[in-house]
A and B are shown apart, each in its own frame.
Chain A
């Protein structure tokens, strides 16, 4: 029998200690890892203001009906030929990308133009992109507090020379409300569908 020199044993212990610390550190990082989102984070998240609006046939819809699902909320108008359909086309791609998980996500499209967009018209319009999307309208009195609560600016711009009659200048943010009804993320116009899909998949994990 021969015994190890003391220096060699110390070396072994130091090595083992370093290894143990490394394993613990990696474990800690993995456990506390915060998912990164590509949308703009509400920090801290705030309760999404509830509302009551109407869809096809005058059926009442409350935001709170979708507790447990992720809601993507967007404001627009059906006469809008450029930005609104762009965002709806993006949402259609996101929805398709979710596959079966799409049942956990609800897209809500709220009009900023109740004069032209009654509930039937908004629903017909959004169904054109994806029948599962809900189009919502209501009276000016019902809609104004909703626009206000979500910080949506909305200005009627007369356009007498245009066959459209008037345009509605409006803000274009897309809001993500999580399963607990908290405003969690928002997206600016032009966010690629992959980014929104990424965040949804992260939240649905």
Chain B
């Protein structure tokens, strides 16, 4: 009985000390790219918890990792560098070609179809979430 109480207490403490993570990040993929060049990472974030913000992304696969959005104005393609991306609660936020994406600038190595690498996404509430990204053709 005492053991059970300790266990419950421990669970309770763990739950309180860190914000509940209710984000699922699925379908992460990146475009193939060559060393020195660029690539982009795409995924879907489903937020089942509180509203959150994606603040940054990092990976050792590229010299710089940034949050970007492609905006089409008529026939024109415009790139925007974002400092945060709102992740609304109860919704799926899609990072996809022609829209939101994580840009990898200055690849440290070739990214070939089938390769995988780790990408850490930093959220205001959920903190750091590390995901595995698979390189594939769109």
Contacts and interface: CB of A to CB of B under 8 A. Distances in A.
Nearest to A170: B77
Contacts of A78: 37-38
Interface residues of A, number: 29
Contacts, number: 89
B79 A167 contact: yes
Given A82-B40, A82-B70, A189 B103 contact: no
A172 B104 contact: no
Given A169-B76, A172-B76, A189-B98, A85 B31 contact: yes
A81 B77 contact: no
Interface residues on B, range: 20 to 34
A190 B72 CA distance: 11
A204 interface: no
Interface string A153-190: 10001010111100101111100000000000000111
Contacts of A128: 32-34
B105 A157 contact: no
B75 A172 contact: yes
B124 to A, nearest CB: 19
Contacts of A161: 81, 83
A19 B100 CA distance: 61
Given A83-B98, A86-B138, A172 B77 contact: yes
Contact of B34 (A124, A167, A188): A124
A183 B66 CA distance: 38
Interface in A89-137: 89, 92, 124-125, 128
Contacts of B31: 81, 85, 89
Most buried by B among A82, A162, A163, A188: A82
Interface of A: 78-83, 85-86, 89, 92, 124-125, 128, 153, 157, 159, 161-164, 167, 169-173, 188-190
